[in-house]
Amino acid sequence: MAKVLKPNILFLGIDSLRRDHLSCYGYPRRTSPYIDQLAAEGTLFEDSFSPHIPTPPGYAGMLCGRDVFGTDRVSLREKGPIMDSIPTLPEMLRELGYRSVGVGLDTWLVKGFDEYHGFPGSWGPWEDRPLRKAEELNKVTFPIMDRLAKVKEPWMLFLRHMDPHAPYLPPAPYDGLFYQGDPCAPGNRSMDPVFAFKPFAEFLKSWMPPGITDKEYVIAQYDGEVAYMDACIQQLFERLRALGQWENTLIVITADHGETLYDHGIFFDHHSMYEPTLLVPMIYRWPGHAPAGKRVRGMVQLMDIVPSILDLMGWQDMTARQKFDGKSVWPLQRGEAPENYAEMLITECTWMRKHGWRTHEWKFIEALEPDFHGLPKRELYNLINDPGESVNLADAEVDVCRLLRKRMLAHIAKRTAETGRPDPIERFKLGLGLSIGSVATAKKLQEKK
Name 413's bridge partners.
none
Nearer to Zn ion, 247 or 447 (CB): 447
Which CB atom, from 43 or from 122, has the smaller least distance to Zn ion? 122
Size of residue set near Zn ion by CB under 5 A = 3
Whose Cβ is closer to Zn ion: residue 10's or residue 109's? 109
Helix runs in 323-430, H state only: 330-333, 398-419
Stretch that binds Zn ion, among 53-61, 134-142, 226-234, 328-336 (CB under 5 A): 53-61
CB of 365 to Zn ion, least distance (A): 20
Nearer to Zn ion, 55 or 206 (CB): 55
CB 50 within 8 A of CB 304: no
Which of 214, 223, 256, 366: binder of Zn ion (CB under 5 A)? 256
Binding region for Zn ion (CB under 5 A) out of 15-23, 99-107, 297-305, 399-407: 15-23
Q: How far is the CB of 266 from Zn ion (least distance, A)?
A: 15
Cis ω on the peptide bond leading into residue 54 (within 30° of 0)? yes
Query: Stretches 107-115, 251-259, 309-317, 397-405: which one binds Zn ion (CB under 5 A)?
Result: 251-259
What distance, in Å, lies between the first and last C-alpha atoms of the chain? 42
Q: Which stretch binds Zn ion (CB under 5 A): 21-29, 55-63, 116-124, 147-155?
A: 55-63
Q: Does residue 75 interact with Zn ion by CB under 5 A?
A: no
Shortest spacing between CB 58 and Zn ion, in angstroms: 6
Q: How far does Cα 196 stand from its chain's mean position?
A: 28
Among 8, 9, 10, 15, binds Zn ion (CB under 5 A): 15
If the CB atoms of residues 15 and 67 are measured against Zn ion, the closer one turns out to be: 15
- State the Cα–Cα distance between residues 10 and 8, nearest whole angstrom: 7
**HSE-up (13 A, CA, CB side) for residue 417:** 6
Find the part of the chain contacting Zn ion (CB under 5 A) among 12-20, 202-210, 219-227, 435-443: 12-20
Beta bridge partners of 115: 101
Please tell me the distance from the alpha carbon of residue 361 to that of residue 234, in angstroms, as a whole number.
38
* Contacts for 401 with CB less than 8 Å, ≥ 6 apart: 364, 378, 380, 394
CA–CA distances in Å: residue 375 to residues 264, 272, 439: 10, 11, 27
| Rounded Cα gap, residues 124 and 171, in angstroms | 13
Binding residue for Zn ion, selected from 23, 43, 50, 55, defined by CB under 5 A = 55
Residue nearest to Zn ion (CB): 55
Q: Which residues bind Zn ion (CB under 5 A)?
A: 15, 55, 256
